[in-house]
Amino acid sequence: MDDQRLLMTELNRDDSGQQTTANNDLLVMSNCTYCQSKLIIKHGARDGLQRYKCKSCHKAFTSATGTSYYHLQKKDKFEEYKALMEQGYIPLKKMAAKIGISIQTAFDWRHKILSNLKETNNQFEGLTEIDDLWFLYSQKGRKGLKYARKRGGSNRRGDNNFQVKLLITADRKTTKDLSVVRIGRLKKSDIERKVGGQFVHGSTLISDKHRSIASFAKSEGLTHVSFLAKKHTAGGDYHIQNVNNIATRLKTAVNHELRGVSTKYLQCYANWFAFLEGNKNQVDCNNLDQALTNNNQTWNQYTNLEGIYKRFIENFSVRTYRCPVKRKWKTQINYSPTNYAGKFI
Who wins on pLDDT, 281 or 337?
A: 281
pTM for the model stands at 0.83
Predicted confidence (pLDDT) per residue in 132-160, tens digit: 999 999 999 898 888 877 777 777 778 89
Label residue 11 by pLDDT band (50, 70, 90). Answer: very low
Confidence of residue 297 (pLDDT cuts 50, 70, 90): confident
**C-alpha 247, offset from chain centre:** 17
Neighbours of 268 (CB within 10 A): 24
Beta carbons within 10 angstroms of residue 128's beta carbon: 27
pLDDT band at 284 (very low <50, low <70, confident <90, very high): low
Query: How far is it, in rounded angstroms, from Cα 120 to Cα 274?
Result: 9
Residues near 217 by Cβ (< 8 Å), separated by ≥ 6? 205, 223, 224
Helix count and strand count (H, E) for the chain: 11, 10
pLDDT of residue 208: 92
CA–CA separation, 260 vs 164, rounded Å?
13
Mean per-residue pLDDT, 27-32: 78
pLDDT of amino acid 120: 67
Residue 18's pLDDT is 38
pLDDT category at 343 given cuts 50, 70, 90 is low
- Are 258 and 89 in contact by the 8 Å Cβ rule? The answer is yes
Tell me the per-residue pLDDT of 41-68, one tens digit each, with 9 for 90 and over. 998 888 788 899 999 999 998 888 888 8
Which pLDDT belongs to residue 340?
47
Query: What pLDDT, on a 0 to 100 scale, did the predictor assign at position 14?
Result: 40
Average pLDDT for 162-191 = 95
Distance in angstroms (rounded) separating the CA atoms of residues 137 and 180: 12
pLDDT-derived band at 25 (thresholds 50, 70, 90) equals very low
State the DSSP string of 67-123. Answer: STTTT-S-HHHHHHHHHHHHH----HHHHHHHHT--HHHHHHHHHHHHTT-PPP-PP
Query: What percent of the residues of the chain are helix, what percent strand, and what percent coil, each to the nearest 5?
Result: 35, 20, 45
| Residue of 294, 260, 343 whose CA lies nearest to 91 | 260
Give the mean model confidence (pLDDT) for residues 202-222: 95
